[in-house]
Structure 1
Amino acid sequence: MDYHIGIMAGLLIIIGVLISGCASTEKAQPPESIPGPSIIDLEDIAATNSGIVLTDAIGREVTVPRNITHILCSGPGCMRYLSYLRETEKAVAADQVERDTVSPAPLPYLVANPQIRTLPAAGKVTDAIEPSRVTGLNSRPDLIILMGDNPQISADELQRRTGIPVIVLQDGDLSYRRNAMNYSLRIMGLVLGKTERAEEVIRFFDKVTENLQARTSTISDFQQKKSYLGGYSTPNPEGLFSTTSIYMPLRLIPAHNMAEEYGNQNSLSGAFSIPKEALIRMAPDAIFLDMTTWSLKESAVADIEKSESINGLPAVRQDEVYGLLPTALYGEDHESDLINAYVIGKALYPEKFTDVDPKVMADYIYAFLYGEPIFEELNKNYGGMALSRIPLFT
């Protein structure tokens, strides 16, 4: 079947599943309310005066002009959120990692919006905005949005030296920092006149996470399978023994992340290494690999193939080794978290995901967020092995 015809057929099935939920399991209930300012709150803010007065993520009260046509969006996750809202044409600059054309990071929003790489830089290094560069841009921004902390200059100092309003937001996630994600989307939607789109994105993430919950809600603790994530990258590629105890897809699917025994539960940065012997003792039911490792000469795949003791693991013998999309190359990729969760769910609990093709699901998610299916283009960066069983010893 032609790839695109197959995608469309698959999307129709998935859309029906997401709308109806899973009849065979108890449907997960949506949260009582979505955190962040409500639509009514936003309308009240927008009606106050000639400017929009809002409170940013670090408690600063900022007056933002209306009818913004040019924006500087900087920091991990900022341009991704701008892409969710379909407003990248208003961006006047990009961070260095987004402009790198020699070793480009395969970020989904850059694959969907390659023109971002042609934008000028607002600083010399990643995450460092320089006031002189901002004021020297050909298109002066009406607003600066900083995602996360900027160690080089404070938001107040940047605002004072450029004369441009600056708001600080946080790159949240789909679990314990959901409030931050929703708040950032709503604030960006408000200042860009995209409130309705922001609500659509929030509802979409709710719908997909609820579908995952509905499929797996009957899996008890003692039924949960053991999983191990290797090759974890933030953002530099690593080998098999690089992992994390805080991995969002394994928060969306009920499974034992075996690295939790070894990692620092209080660390949000994530990556650490375990000894080979620890992985052997874990004896996971399935091994998942962050496919940024594919660019390494000694990749996580090579680490498995060259070690007889690792070869003996049940997951390897039973061909339960899968490639996942990277989730933390520059901020937390919410879409990759969701897509990976479906891969993990289908691998560990195939009876719960019989109707799901993870690659079709990926393009369903990409099409909603970015307007087009981009999985095949993205997968070229990973030897075509993302979201698939990895062929070992070939």
Structure 2
Amino acid sequence: MARLIICLVALLLASQSWAKTVTDIFGRTVTVPDNVERIIALGSSMSFVTYLHAQKLAVGVEDVEKTADSTKPYVQANFEMVKDLPVIGKAGAVRIPNYERIISLKPDVVFIVSTDRGEPDLIQRKLSIPVVAVSYGMPNFDQDVFFRSIGLTAEVLGRQERAEELISYIKSLPAKLSYAPGKDAEAYLGGISFKGNQGLNSTAADFLPMKLARIKNITDAEKKRGQFFVNREYVLAKNPEIIFIDGNGLSLIADDVRKNPEFYARLRAFRNGQVFLLLPHTSYFSNPEMLYVNAFLMAKSAYPEKYGNIDPEEITDEILTAFNGKGMYGFLRKTTGGYGVLELTPDGIKIK
């Protein structure tokens, strides 16, 4: 009996040293191994893993992680590393994990970004593997939630020092955009992705880059948060002095310009050379690093007297390298046009 008790105590102590409890972004209590060596990341949560320089722990990836032309910075940073890893499911609005394959890969932990609070529990029940939910914020990017998710991922993976380094860097960025204009410039933001690429009528309120750049977002008056749609008459009625276009929406807007040139010619921002192409910031959830890059590009556009010397390639590659270890402005310039002024032409639109 004494020997049995000793064995039970030893097992209990072993299990306590083996496991720790974390609270994920949905407030779920999840018990995870103390030493995580194998992971699966669903729903673009691989971004958080990459930010912490822990992507080599991945034993399988979603299909989107192998997309050669993806504009998601972490996908480009990891492309060569993950190309031979098994695909564990289809990404997208309707996620289809391959449960049998995930189980066969024996991950210690599964991370997930999800808009459905019930999804992590469902997947955890099916896998019998700890599932930890992280987030960029809902319905739009929330920096506090983002920082908490970086810290949560770091706690699970034992990468707290790297998390502190990255968060400290991010917190240093607003000081570089400290100019306080006498009157804030006003602008409209169009082409924001939502379940795919969208045109001029897809916009966003409460937009972090505009706040950091001290630009008044005309759609904030609608008292909404995140992405939403307006009609073109709304844009014309507001007729903003500046228009920003997300790179993912450029092709759709260019097609619309060819079909409706008269409408675009009536927008004073086009007439005055004040329509600016930004880097794409949404593709299978948010790309937070692009939001910070776009804050600098917006500041350069709205306040050239103060920020005209900002070099788009230099600031993009600095921030992307700080997040993911790799710059990719050259790739983005080839695939989405990079940063520039959009001008109307007899054939549609061009990037100056």
Residue in 2 aligned with 1:89? 56
The 1-side partners of 2:115 and 2:106 are apart by: 22
> Taking structure 2 as the reference length, what is the TM-score of the superposition?
0.83
The 2-side partners of 1:194 and 1:271 are apart by: 36
Whether the 8 Å contact between 2:141 and 2:208 is mirrored in structure 1 is no
Residue in 2 aligned with 1:5? none
1:301–1:157 Cα change, 3 Å: closer
1:235–1:114 Cα change, 3 Å: farther
Secondary structure of the 2:340 match is coil
> 2:338 aligned with 1:386, yes or no?
yes
CA deviation string 1:254-286 (max 9, x = no partner): 22222334x561x44x131322x3222212111
The 2-side partners of 1:368 and 1:164 are apart by: 31
Q: CA deviation at 1:391?
A: 4.0
Residue in 2 aligned with 1:73? 41
CA deviation string 1:39-97 (max 9, x = no partner): xxxxxxxxx83322221222222221122221011114x11111111111111222333
2:110 corresponds to which of 141, 144, 156: 144
Which one has the bigger strand percentage? 2
Secondary structure of the 2:296 match is helix
Whether the 8 Å contact between 1:209 and 1:338 is mirrored in structure 2 is no
Alignment of 1:12-91 (within 5 A): 49-76=17-44, 78-91=45-58
Alignment of 1:215-230 (within 5 A): 215=179, 218-219=180-181, 223-230=183-190
1:231 corresponds to which of 184, 191, 195: 191
In structure 1, stretches of 5+ residues that fail to align are 1-47
Q: CA RMSD in A?
A: 2.5
The 2-side partners of 1:167 and 1:176 are apart by: 19
Whether the 8 Å contact between 1:72 and 1:143 is mirrored in structure 2 is yes
The 2-side partners of 1:109 and 1:93 are apart by: 15
2:248 corresponds to which of 264, 277, 292: 292
The 1-side partners of 2:304 and 2:121 are apart by: 52
The 1-side partners of 2:121 and 2:256 are apart by: 48
Q: What amino acid maps onto 1:301 in structure 2?
A: A
Q: CA deviation at 1:323?
A: 0.8
The 2-side partners of 1:366 and 1:392 are apart by: 31
Q: CA deviation at 1:227?
A: 0.7
Secondary structure of the 1:49 match is helix
Q: What amino acid maps onto 2:342 in structure 1?
A: I
Residue in 1 aligned with 2:217? 257
Secondary structure of the 1:342 match is helix
Residue in 1 aligned with 2:12? none
CA deviation string 1:144-171 (max 9, x = no partner): 11222457x6433433432322222222
The 2-side partners of 1:204 and 1:107 are apart by: 20
Whether the 8 Å contact between 1:99 and 1:117 is mirrored in structure 2 is yes
CA deviation string 1:284-327 (max 9, x = no partner): 11111111123x3xx31343464224213321122111111111
Q: What amino acid maps onto 1:236 in structure 2?
A: G
> 2:156 aligned with 1:191, yes or no?
yes
Residue in 1 aligned with 2:325? 371
Whether the 8 Å contact between 1:145 and 1:166 is mirrored in structure 2 is yes
Q: What amino acid maps onto 1:231 in structure 2?
A: G
Q: CA deviation at 1:333?
A: 1.2
CA deviation string 1:338-383 (max 9, x = no partner): 111111111111122133212210011112222222110122111x
> 2:270 aligned with 1:303, yes or no?
no
The 1-side partners of 2:185 and 2:171 are apart by: 25
Whether the 8 Å contact between 1:226 and 1:256 is mirrored in structure 2 is yes
Secondary structure of the 2:41 match is strand
Q: What amino acid maps onto 1:191 in structure 2?
A: V
1:238–1:69 Cα change, 3 Å: same
1:125–1:328 Cα change, 3 Å: closer
1:379–1:118 Cα change, 3 Å: farther
1:309–1:226 Cα change, 3 Å: same
Residue in 2 aligned with 1:283? 239
The 1-side partners of 2:136 and 2:238 are apart by: 32
The 2-side partners of 1:178 and 1:292 are apart by: 22
The 2-side partners of 1:280 and 1:244 are apart by: 17
> Taking structure 1 as the reference length, what is the TM-score of the superposition?
0.75
Q: What amino acid maps onto 2:189 in structure 1?
A: L
Q: Which has the higher contact order (CA 8 A, sep 6+)?
A: 1
1:118–1:380 Cα change, 3 Å: farther
Secondary structure of the 1:256 match is strand
Residue in 1 aligned with 2:134? 169
Secondary structure of the 2:17 match is coil
1:162–1:339 Cα change, 3 Å: same
Residue in 2 aligned with 1:107? 72
Residue in 2 aligned with 1:334? 288
Whether the 8 Å contact between 1:233 and 1:271 is mirrored in structure 2 is no
The 1-side partners of 2:342 and 2:184 are apart by: 23
Bigger-Rg structure (1/2) = 2
In structure 2, stretches of 5+ residues that fail to align are 1-15
1:249–1:121 Cα change, 3 Å: same
Matched-pair identity in %? 28
